[in-house]
Structure 1
Amino acid sequence: MKTNNNAALKAGAAPFALALALISAPAFAQEAAPQADSATETNEPTAIVVTGSLIRNPNLIQATPVNVTTADQIALKQSNTAEEVLRQVPGIVPNIGSAVNNGATGSNYVDLRGLGSNRNIVLLDGQRIVPADLQGRVDLNNIPLALISRVDALTGAAVTTYGADAITGVVNFVTKKDFAGVDIAVSDQITQQGDGNYFRGDVTTGVNFDDGRGNAVLSIGYQKSNPVYQGARDFSNIQLDSFSGTAGGSGTAVPARFSINGANRVIDPSTGLLKPGFTPFNFNPYNIFQTPFQRFNIFAQANYQLSDAVEVYTRGLFSKNTVKTIIAPSGLFAESMKIPFSNPYLPAGAAGQFCAANGLTDAECVAARAATDPTDPNYRTFNTVVRRRFVETGTRNSQYTTNVFDYSLGFRGALTKTVNWDVRASYGESDRLQTITGYVLKSRVQDALLATNKNSCLSGNDGCVPINLFGGAGSITPEQAAYTLSPSTSSNNTSLFQVRGLLSGDFGFTVPTASEPVGFAAGAEYRRYRAAQISDTLSKTPGELGGAGGAAPDIDGAYSVWESYGELVAPLVSDKPFFKSLTAEGGVRYSKYSVRGGPKTEAWTYKFGGSWEPTEQVKFRGNYSRAVRAPNIAELFTPNTVGLTNLAADPCAGAAPLTNANLRAICLAQGAPANSIGQILNPTAAQANITSGGNINLKPEKATTYTLGAVVQNLPFLPGFSVSVDYYNIKVTNQIGTPLPGDLIDACFGNVTAASATDTACTIIRRGPATGGLDGSPATTKGLFGGLTNQGKLFTDGIDVILNYQRPIGAVKWTLNAVANVTFHSKFKATATSIDRECVGLYSVNCSFTGSIQPRHTWSVQNTFSLKGMDLSLLWRHQSSARYEDGNAFKGTIPADSGALSGQTVDFNKIDAFDYLDVTTRFNIEQFTLTFTVQNLFNTKPPIVGNTIGSTSYNSGNTYPSSYDALGRRFAVGARVKF
């Protein structure tokens, strides 16, 4: 059932990430100062708050090294959403976004270091905005990209500055300040194959008033994208099994499969008898590589100088987003159904076989076939597990409609000549409604199956039409199909209220050996989160919606936090031999959490570090921090629910239990019926059931991070050049997460000879009572158990490199921006007895805790050449090779009947390094700008590894569409006018 989890619980996504910290670099060491974006827009004010610090001082712009993406780079790339911008940044691993279809949530998230999208914070001008879900994550679709001046990605622990959830860092979207004028921009994109059209339009207007004392800005935007179907690409239109190389698919197919005597059989249309064999259902053509998206957004901000001492500032955003996912048709996914022997569509031959399997004599069978009234003593029914794809009902569709507003009001001013104050409050709400259609209702199918004639159902329910499940595609008529369908809804509602007060500046004195004063920031804040999930009866009934992957339970939780914090930056030595500067810095934060219905928690976090400039050309820096992350609402309040995880091989499947008595005993102890032994199937489409939920007694995670780095800049023989190199090292203990599927299986079956059928690690696994499998109805098959605990550990380390160079070549201005990341380790250990799993450069179900693939090397190099109003930009993106974790995937020649890949020699155990080139030409004619972009210039196709080698969300269409470009060459044209 590779496609049956519309909002499936992914075990690979359950383990969460880690923390890391990087420190102190002049902003210009990372990037040239931002230029005004219009003739009347001013640059950033002199005294700024750099991302990663709360200290507001023009002489101390020395915060954590930040990867900066400018508005100009966004325009050259013609990025449409914030998710697209961040997907290109090395060190950021793709998370749920536009390339995720099965498993999408209606939102896009960022995942710094590839270790959990709930471990970083998304900020707008240094301030939190309302999260979109119960995990506290911000939807990147709500960012007003048209008004963004730059994007700061600080991939380091920032909990002392911004609070919990910032273990792996923050992404800060900085808006244009004091914008005045009108800016109108439109763009349109399309793939070379003529699909995936993406339109975007924005209008931004701003005005300075009252002799410059105030400014107001309004930006209105609209976006719409069309789907790209996997069936429209030759490499993805047929699903390939990653371990056999054959054209595979789901075991829930058409015609239907019925269980009898522990085996699965289909009805031979020529004889009406049950027989072995079936053709897997190819679901790929129905799925999509680009999810349809529509957005209306409004963003406004203003500031006004009330007096020389007080300025008022405000900001508000509203966004309405509609995201659609489309997956293969619904059906009965190993559901146990009751069928009367007198069902009018049941073939006589199959009826006779079911009679024999249920112990009926020939005479009893004949009588049962004739008994159409349940009150007749001869009326009989039988139970069978049915796997049947309802191709007649069309695709399963989910529409996520999200309305978000977030409003902020603040006052700031100067307390003294060197100390500023800032007080602000904000409130935001996010309401996301999921409406799903195309899902058959198990109860209605059961109602229609109990019919004993073709004209009416025994129940007498309005609209009930007896259904024919015993034929091939088309045997279910439109009238029969219509009765099985009904829309269902669930909603997610979140809110965030926050108040903050801050003092920052300097103490007005200096260390005797230094020339700059000691800077500080101190403040307090209060935040209150509330989140709820409300589902209708259909959504929260396990197994009722065919192929929904599990129920969507009602959830309601809240917590609040009081915090106080302080930061200090102390210049120790200035302008001395070998000591151009020597600076020490530190920070501390105290947090007190109150969880509704749960315990109160206190936590301290701190950091300290320093930087040394022996000369103005070289700086060395280092940092150490202690961080914590408190559990979020989903982790605390979600009840245990059956969902889906990825598991290709079940130890109880096949003939192995017939020859191993201990293994047989374990399978039976887990609930497998005796007649299923030897005939248990591997989870269809590599998806097994898993039971998981929240834990009100979870404790905060703990993390320690340190960094060491250097910056080289201002070289007299190489003006315009700067480079920074930073090593990061992060360890997380008490990690909140659940063991991976491999860990759960190994805990019981790792040593079958020594394992006991009474071990808790074995008996906690619960199998289907009819099939003995780990897949099937979530109402009866609990599958694996992966409850949340604090037993996990994570570790990662690596190097970040940022290089910038700018110089004239004759009349041409050449600008080079390069960012690279090398990840040495990315480890996860779920429990004390689990494998300490290394996942850098590896892909598998068990390495899905990183989301998509975590490459060892990534870089992005952009060269821009400017000449008299014309720009030519070349963006080179590189991702290093990867390989399958276990090394036992298919290697050889793709068999015939596998579409365009038939006859090709492949090795699904490895992925070569990939490179992409994007080219942009831009013409600036006075106030008008015209931009042409070709993305993936060489039309590089993604690597093919089959469809069952990784997690469902990220391994789709025989590839990893979030990590590699599955759309192919794309063309974009944009026009912009400013006045």
Structure 2
Amino acid sequence: MKKTQYSKLKLGAAPLVLGVALVSAPAYAQDEGATSSSEIVVTGTLIRNPNLESASPVTAIGADEIDMQQANVAEELLRELPGVTPSIGSAVNNGNGGASFVNLRNLGSNRNVVLIDGVRLVPAELNGRFDLNNIPLALIERVDVLTGGASTTYGADAVSGVVNFITKRNFAGIEANISNQITERGDGHTLRADVTIGANFDDGRGNAVFSIGYQESDPIYQGGREHGLYALSSSSGGAGGSGTAVPSRFSLPGQGTRQINAAGTDFNPGTTFTAFNFNPYNVYQTPFKRFNMYGAANYEISDALEVYTRGVFSKNTVSTIIAPSGAFGIGVDIPLNNPFLNDALRTTFCDANGIDVATCTAAADPSLTPGDAAYRTVTSSLFRRATEVGPRISEYTTNFFDYRLGFRGGVTDTISWDVFGSYGESENLQQIGGYTLNSRVRDSFLANNTTSCFDGAAAGCVPINWFGVEGNSSWTPEAISFLNEVSTVRTKTSMAQARAMLSGDFGVASPMASDPISFAVGGEYREYKASQASDTLAAGGDLGGAGGAAPNIDGGFNVYEAIGELIVPLVQDKPFFEDLTIEGGIRYSSYKVDAVGSPSYNTTTWKVGGSWTPISDIKFRGNYARAVRAPNIAELFSPVNTTLTNLQDDPCATRDDNGNVIRANPTGELRAVCIAQLAPGTPASTVDFIAQPISGQANATGGGNLNLGPEIGKTWTVGVVLQPSFVPKLSLSVDYYHIKITGAITSPTPGDAISACFGADPSSPAAGASSTAACTSIRRDPLTGGLNGDPNTTPGLFLTTSNLGTLETSGIDVNLNYSRDVGFANLSFAGQLNWTEQSKFQSAPGGYNRDCVGYFSANCGQPIPEWQWSLRTSLAFDDFDVSLLWRHIGGSKYEGLASDYADRGFDDNSREIFEGALGAGTGTLSGKQVNFNRIKAYDYFDLTTRFNVLENLTVTVGVQNLFDKKPPLVGGEAGSTTYNSGNTFPSTYDSIGRRYVAAARVRF
């Protein structure tokens, strides 16, 4: 095969390479030696041409930046980029399924594609997302991030862009790395070790490389940080927590809920209660262990034929640790002769349920059994943490492999072919421990005496005193063993793909250009299969506090595609037209869903772009693309299921999440709406005692939809690249991007569901609202009237999946690279700035078009700052370099403070969270003035130094979060539970504090 010498830009050639750069021509030389032209990976096009310059802006993270940051997994590296919204990763505790993802432009982690060397790998779960934990960082040469629709080049899902990890090529030698990190407080130890071996053989006709790596990290508990020790209420600023408390709370018909007193002898007066502080159990850094291997080889069988292969394997174990399980508002039947029920409690239950004194007294007879005439029970919702059982721990073990084999060769000196196939599987086993079973909790009330249960209870039933104090004598090892079982959920995915491409140039150029017209044509096939198999405990929703059932799911689809791309240099080397190039592409896709009666569909995506270089100092570029995203397996095949969503304010609630009165009982149409949402037979007076959703979480019912079709994205970028000859080594680029997705596959936000029913002013619904479908679709707990409770009886909000949504975002990216010799060292700057103009979501036509820029809330998920930037400043000396990374996150505020707050579904009672002194019971934080409504701009600094100790040994030491910046406090209900944890947003802001890193690299 013909070899092509070229040197567009050599990453790693200088002592210190600028870490973050926007590159207009991402066709890089991978090493000093010759490289086959067919090996070139140009992000954004399938045309393989070493002289290609793309019209699409691509942000590149070089190997030196990876080395400087000492990231342990790819997600940690990507979340630092402006324009990337932090997604599921190591900082997510409640909601982490053992995988890490990337979210480009806040359009969703399911709307981008992650690649290795321009090729997809098997996704990790049913939403089609690739787990970044499987990236072999030791072999990554650079990371390209392309914003905007890339579906023409890479197929569906690439609506918001792609992240392309480019591996080192023709690696020869041995490289070993070891890195240690620890926080200033001595916890969160993280270890990473990698060994890479590579060699050329048969006079350079072949190369093989193998890399093996290991990473592990210890947990950092929220209780180990002052700002996370206590659960703070976003609505009061005081000690918050969960209404699933200790001692128990029980609902009483028409009276709300009441908590057992500290002595376990009677109910406390009124509806107030002591919330459970769950924070100390949760973590800011999830513990993990990862083992990965990567191997690749290529061999030139002849001058016209080369074979290549690549294999990736990893085993990841991630543990999530959550506060204890228990009874989260489940309905229980309490026999009035329960041996743990004293006279005072029994009388209260009888009075509330309208049972007269004589009947109540007769029912207290301990000799009664079910079926006896005098035997009576009362039904109540139980809220009780089973702290005696311990925390909930889910261990996610993922085994992943992806193998690729291909052949390529030359048709002519300028045209080559490439054919490959790959197959990958991912299996994730979730072992769920520490969860009490709802059915066992119910059975434990059916006590014949203090040691045995009535006939009909589960085998091995042990009576438990749910009316007593924490850790009372009934909590024996046998009782704890009876209450909880280990449950499992197994998720399996597979992907088979094949691609055949013909690319090169025709040897024909435009009359006014010297470079020939380049092209790529080919076809691609992909087949996806995925399943979720739960045991009966998880599938049946029997796990207390699991957020609903994990139903069995099984589905798949396949797609056949035809692809074509063209790049045409029109004018070159002419006055004011040093270069004028246009490009275009088209992809036709035919989808077939593996389900009887489900629709098949065809899509067409296309792109056009161009660049104009009037003089060598300046280039203008632009790109327009029509992208698509096909529904994934979860969106198609998930059955209707009740789980948890986030909702801070229920318009029907008259009590806060600690049981205190927050507003008058509902009247007029509001009262009619609240009553209409009650289960049949529930007393109307229940609406006078409804409490706010516990911990800002409410039940919600939704599921997949086999009738979903593809969503359409229209994206365009326009920008300029400046490389002024009068300022050597300066590169500046400015690009405006705009992405709009119509027919988006979405569900309404909780705020949308509330607004659709209660209107712009939730305290005053429109006349007749109580009979509308938007209101009656909201179904409340039959015992408490709240939006929490047993998923089997409390559907909550109805959040259906449809193609009715619209997403839109736009902004500007600015990238700067500059270096100069200052005499004693080389000074360099590498920076990227992002200004987000809009980040909008509309769940359905006619609904509110919500813009989340500058806001945080349960509807917006997490803070979306208007301004973000990162700037690395470095001084490179002969044997060492010093580098400072400055990361800026713009300020944001609670969405309820928006000027159009009423349209967004907030009323005067809910729009302001809290501003003032933190309440009592918050330890050393007491008296500190904190505004939970606003997050100021944040600046973080990381300092890194590298030393060339020996010719083959480099040592790196660094301090991350140099000034030990504390995270902002917003309480525990200010945003989505997945991202709002430990009173802050730990994926966006550093909740851990100052960390030290030391690493060594040996090369031979």
- Same fold by TM-score greater than 0.5: yes
Q: Secondary structure at the match of 1:776?
A: coil
Q: Which residue of 2 aligns with 1:966?
A: 991
Q: Which residue of 2 aligns with 1:243?
A: 235
When residues 303 and 657 of structure 1 are mapped into structure 2, their CA distance, relative to the original with a 3 A threshold, is same
Please say if residues 297 and 310 of structure 2, whose CA atoms lie closer than 8 Å, have aligned partners that are also in contact.
yes
Counterpart among 137, 162, 167 of residue 175 in structure 1? 167
Displacement of 1:365 in angstroms is: 2.1
Q: Which residue of 2 aligns with 1:19?
A: none
Q: Which residue of 2 aligns with 1:338?
A: 333
Please say if residues 92 and 285 of structure 2, whose CA atoms lie closer than 8 Å, have aligned partners that are also in contact.
yes
- Give the whole-Å Cα distance in 1 for the aligned partners of 2:262 and 2:940: 51
- The alignment status of 1:651 with 2:636, answered yes or no, reads no
Encode CA deviations 1:685-719: one digit per residue, 9 max, x unaligned. 11000001000001111111111100011x33211
Please say if residues 264 and 467 of structure 2, whose CA atoms lie closer than 8 Å, have aligned partners that are also in contact.
no
Please say if residues 42 and 177 of structure 1, whose CA atoms lie closer than 8 Å, have aligned partners that are also in contact.
no
- Give the whole-Å Cα distance in 2 for the aligned partners of 1:106 and 1:458: 41
| Aligned residue runs from structure 1 range 165-204, under 5 A | 165-204=157-196
| Aligned residue runs from structure 1 range 120-131, under 5 A | 120-131=112-123
Q: Which residue of 1 aligns with 2:696?
A: 686
Please say if residues 319 and 396 of structure 2, whose CA atoms lie closer than 8 Å, have aligned partners that are also in contact.
yes
Displacement of 1:972 in angstroms is: 0.6
TM-score, normalisation: structure 2: 0.92
Larger RCO, structures 1/2 (Cα 8 Å, 6+ apart): 1
Counterpart among 460, 464, 471 of residue 461 in structure 2? 464
Displacement of 1:359 in angstroms is: 3.2
Task: Pick which of 776-785 and 454-463 moved more.
Answer: 454-463
Encode CA deviations 1:598-644: one digit per residue, 9 max, x unaligned. 11101111111111100011100111111111111111110010011
- Give the whole-Å Cα distance in 2 for the aligned partners of 1:59 and 1:649: 58
Q: Which residue of 2 aligns with 1:13?
A: none
When residues 915 and 269 of structure 1 are mapped into structure 2, their CA distance, relative to the original with a 3 A threshold, is closer
Q: Which residue of 2 aligns with 1:142?
A: 134
Please say if residues 402 and 431 of structure 1, whose CA atoms lie closer than 8 Å, have aligned partners that are also in contact.
yes
Q: Which residue of 2 aligns with 1:641?
A: 641
- Give the whole-Å Cα distance in 2 for the aligned partners of 1:97 and 1:833: 35
- The alignment status of 1:936 with 2:961, answered yes or no, reads yes
Displacement of 1:966 in angstroms is: 0.5
When residues 942 and 268 of structure 1 are mapped into structure 2, their CA distance, relative to the original with a 3 A threshold, is closer
When residues 161 and 640 of structure 1 are mapped into structure 2, their CA distance, relative to the original with a 3 A threshold, is same
Structure 2 gap segments, 5+ residues each: 1-19, 656-662, 898-911
- The alignment status of 1:81 with 2:81, answered yes or no, reads no
Q: Which residue of 2 aligns with 1:893?
A: 917
| Aligned residue runs from structure 1 range 261-300, under 5 A | 261-262=253-254, 263-268=256-261, 272-275=265-268, 276=270, 277-300=272-295
- Give the whole-Å Cα distance in 1 for the aligned partners of 2:976 and 2:175: 43
When residues 810 and 32 of structure 1 are mapped into structure 2, their CA distance, relative to the original with a 3 A threshold, is farther
Please say if residues 30 and 723 of structure 1, whose CA atoms lie closer than 8 Å, have aligned partners that are also in contact.
no
Counterpart among 981, 991, 996 of residue 956 in structure 1? 981
- Give the whole-Å Cα distance in 1 for the aligned partners of 2:768 and 2:140: 58
- Give the whole-Å Cα distance in 2 for the aligned partners of 1:692 and 1:724: 44
Displacement of 1:357 in angstroms is: 2.7
**Aligned residues with identical type, % of pairs:** 54
- The alignment status of 1:362 with 2:371, answered yes or no, reads no
Q: Which residue of 2 aligns with 1:798?
A: 811
- Give the whole-Å Cα distance in 2 for the aligned partners of 1:365 and 1:383: 14
Q: Secondary structure at the match of 1:354?
A: helix
- Give the whole-Å Cα distance in 2 for the aligned partners of 1:44 and 1:863: 35
- Give the whole-Å Cα distance in 2 for the aligned partners of 1:627 and 1:759: 37
Q: Secondary structure at the match of 2:66?
A: helix
- Give the whole-Å Cα distance in 1 for the aligned partners of 2:296 and 2:242: 51
- The alignment status of 1:841 with 2:841, answered yes or no, reads no
Displacement of 1:777 in angstroms is: 0.7
Task: Pick which of 830-839 and 251-260 moved more.
Answer: 830-839
- The alignment status of 1:748 with 2:757, answered yes or no, reads yes
Encode CA deviations 1:919-958: one digit per residue, 9 max, x unaligned. 1111112101111010000001111111111010111111
- Give the whole-Å Cα distance in 1 for the aligned partners of 2:960 and 2:479: 46
- Give the whole-Å Cα distance in 2 for the aligned partners of 1:654 and 1:881: 32
May I ask how many residue pairs the two structures share in their alignment?
Answer: 947
Q: Secondary structure at the match of 1:453?
A: coil
Task: Give 2:182's aligned amino acid.
Answer: I
Query: Once superposed, what is the RMSD of the aligned Cα atoms?
Result: 1.8
Task: Give 2:315's aligned amino acid.
Answer: K
Displacement of 1:657 in angstroms is: 8.1
Please say if residues 713 and 741 of structure 2, whose CA atoms lie closer than 8 Å, have aligned partners that are also in contact.
yes
Please say if residues 29 and 722 of structure 1, whose CA atoms lie closer than 8 Å, have aligned partners that are also in contact.
no
TM-score, normalisation: structure 1: 0.95
Task: Pick which of 880-889 and 935-944 moved more.
Answer: 880-889
- Give the whole-Å Cα distance in 1 for the aligned partners of 2:26 and 2:533: 46
Q: Secondary structure at the match of 1:847?
A: coil
Encode CA deviations 1:86-111: one digit per residue, 9 max, x unaligned. 01111101000100000111100000
Please say if residues 742 and 805 of structure 2, whose CA atoms lie closer than 8 Å, have aligned partners that are also in contact.
yes
Please say if residues 21 and 61 of structure 2, whose CA atoms lie closer than 8 Å, have aligned partners that are also in contact.
no
| Aligned residue runs from structure 1 range 141-540, under 5 A | 141-262=133-254, 263-268=256-261, 272-275=265-268, 276=270, 277-370=272-365, 371-459=367-455, 461-475=458-472, 476-540=475-539
When residues 191 and 41 of structure 1 are mapped into structure 2, their CA distance, relative to the original with a 3 A threshold, is farther
Counterpart among 925, 929, 933 of residue 909 in structure 1? 933
Q: Which residue of 2 aligns with 1:6?
A: none
Encode CA deviations 1:778-821: one digit per residue, 9 max, x unaligned. 01000000110111111111001111112222141222211111
Structure 1 gap segments, 5+ residues each: 1-24
When residues 27 and 878 of structure 1 are mapped into structure 2, their CA distance, relative to the original with a 3 A threshold, is closer
Displacement of 1:461 in angstroms is: 4.3
Q: Which residue of 2 aligns with 1:769?
A: 782
Q: Secondary structure at the match of 1:507?
A: strand
Q: Secondary structure at the match of 1:668?
A: helix
Displacement of 1:47 in angstroms is: 7.0
- Give the whole-Å Cα distance in 2 for the aligned partners of 1:47 and 1:356: 80
Please say if residues 392 and 478 of structure 1, whose CA atoms lie closer than 8 Å, have aligned partners that are also in contact.
no
- Give the whole-Å Cα distance in 2 for the aligned partners of 1:732 and 1:899: 47
- Give the whole-Å Cα distance in 2 for the aligned partners of 1:668 and 1:239: 32
Please say if residues 27 and 61 of structure 1, whose CA atoms lie closer than 8 Å, have aligned partners that are also in contact.
no
Displacement of 1:728 in angstroms is: 0.7
- Give the whole-Å Cα distance in 1 for the aligned partners of 2:424 and 2:685: 56
Encode CA deviations 1:205-255: one digit per residue, 9 max, x unaligned. 011111111111110111100000000110111111112111111000000
When residues 958 and 330 of structure 1 are mapped into structure 2, their CA distance, relative to the original with a 3 A threshold, is same
Counterpart among 730, 734, 737 of residue 728 in structure 1? 737
Displacement of 1:63 in angstroms is: 4.7
Please say if residues 30 and 722 of structure 1, whose CA atoms lie closer than 8 Å, have aligned partners that are also in contact.
no
Counterpart among 551, 564, 584 of residue 553 in structure 1? 551
Q: Which residue of 1 aligns with 2:16?
A: none
When residues 269 and 308 of structure 1 are mapped into structure 2, their CA distance, relative to the original with a 3 A threshold, is closer
Please say if residues 657 and 664 of structure 1, whose CA atoms lie closer than 8 Å, have aligned partners that are also in contact.
no
Q: Secondary structure at the match of 1:521?
A: strand
Task: Pick which of 768-777 and 670-679 moved more.
Answer: 670-679
Encode CA deviations 1:812-837: one digit per residue, 9 max, x unaligned. 12222111111111111111221111
